[in-house]
Structure 1
């Protein structure tokens, strides 16, 4: 069986209050994206890594790789206008059958163990999506401004990787783009396939706001993540 990873790196720095796209911000001295690629390179199944990146940033990424002596093997693919189109471009670059994990570039703390488990479950069942139960109380807000409590035990905060049989995911991505496609699981579910959910990791946070970098740095030091 062949394994692939599509790392989606199309985010900007708007919510980070930075002119630099968040995947390039430094975390413990290295761009966030490099930590993410390293996590997949440490997976025992040795996936082929495809980095989907805006074509205007390809040269900048090459320069960063030289600057940080980053030599983990990966293939760079041009991104699309939305995440949906970027993933579709990544899928087009994959020839043949296998299992593919789609992962946010700004989730650098995902463990190699969770990545491996995602591949194994997807190989057995066709798909695997990771998520964690909310720790805060949650409420649904209606259009009129009213709200009602929901049971957090019936909810999951969805993370990545989201892992699929390649043929299944390619078939799902043949449908036209919809605004309610927020991730790969929603695209696959729209095609009529049930999603298999497994427990994710609390430390698998998404770098979105400035304070997330500080949290990630603390978590990285705590887990003694090895330097590149």
Structure 2
């Protein structure tokens, strides 16, 4: 089946504390975005990419795309006011039945193995959301104080969140709701059960300066192995 990846790179990266959005920061000599794009390009030869960028960084994005292994398979569009609107803009570029991956550009350590597992699970069940179990103790704040959560029942959600195109495109016809924090929450509002699969601990999201250092170390270890 045809495959598309919508790579969401529309954020401002304020928590990183840099003038340049985090998706454009250097990681081992290449922008963070470059690493995400190339991994998806390697996953299959028939996978096309739609990268969603901030309007002021389209030219920067074009320069990054030109250095990837197959620029012809990448299309650029601009982001919107929220993640929901940015993803919706990307989805409008898809006009055929397909499996669609929606991925945070700053999860630049994504592996082809995880991409393939998401694809197979989505083919079978309609959607596939990678998730990992937390290792920290968790407590939840309530009006009556806080209490312990059973971490064995909690999952940390990752990307790529993967869906049949007809499912996710129909979901994004719904009006925006502040509860839409990711694609799974949008699809779930249609009444469609969300299917979790095992994610990867190394599939971190570059959010703070320490994450860049960690990503550098992971890439270094990957090269050695």
- The whole-number CA distance in structure 1 between the counterparts of 2:46 and 2:96 is 17
CA contact (8 A) 2:10 2:78 kept: no
C-alpha change, 1:225 and 1:85, in structure 2 (3 Å) is farther
Between Structure 1 and Structure 2, which shows a larger proportion of helix residues?
2
Q: What RMSD in Å do the two structures reach over aligned CA positions?
A: 1.5
Query: Does residue 120 of structure 2 align to residue 120 of structure 1?
Result: yes
Instruction: Extract structure 1 runs of 4+ deviating beyond 3 A.
Output: 63-66
- CA deviation after TM superposition for structure 1 residue 62, in Å: 2.4
Shift of 1:71: 4.7
Match of 2:70 in 1: 72
Q: Deviations over 1:131-160 (max 9, x none)?
A: 00000010111135x110011000100000
In 2, the alpha carbon distance for the partners of 1:126 and 1:173 equals 16
Do 1:54 and 1:79's aligned partners in 2 also have CA atoms closer than 8 Å? yes
Tell me which residue corresponds to 1:81: 81
Structure 1 residue runs without a partner (length 5+): none
- TM-score normalized by the length of structure 1: 0.94
Q: Distance in 1 between matches of 2:224 and 2:191?
A: 39
Shift of 1:46: 3.6
| Residue pair 2:43, 2:116 contacting (<8 A) in 1 also | yes
Task: Determine helix, strand or coil for the equivalent of 2:159.
Answer: strand
Alignment map for 1:175-194 (pairs within 5 Å): 175-194=174-193
Distance 1:211 1:88 in 2: 31
The match for 1:90 is 90
Using a 3 Å threshold, how does the CA distance of structure 1 residues 117 and 225 change in structure 2: closer, same or farther? farther
State the partner residue of 1:220: 219
Any stretches of 5+ residues in structure 2 without a counterpart? none
CA separation of 1:65/1:101 partners in 2, compared to 1, >3 Å: closer, same or farther? Answer: closer
Matches of 1:28 and 1:219, distance apart in 2:
11
Helix, strand or coil: the match of 1:182? coil
Query: 3-state DSSP class of the match of 1:176?
Result: coil
Q: How many residues align?
A: 223
Give distance in 2, aligned partners of 1:70 and 1:199: 28
Structure 1 counterpart of 2:29: 29
| Matching residue of 2:153 | 154
CA–CA distance in 2 between the matches of 1:97 and 1:111? 24
Contact 1:45 1:116 (C-alpha < 8 Å) held by counterparts? no
Tell me by how many angstroms 1:13 deviates: 2.9
Q: Secondary structure at the match of 1:15?
A: helix
Q: Counterpart of 1:141?
A: 141
Distance in 1 between residues matched to 2:142 and 2:224, nearest whole Å: 43
Q: Which whole-Å CA distance do the structure 1 matches of 2:173 and 2:103 have between them? A: 20
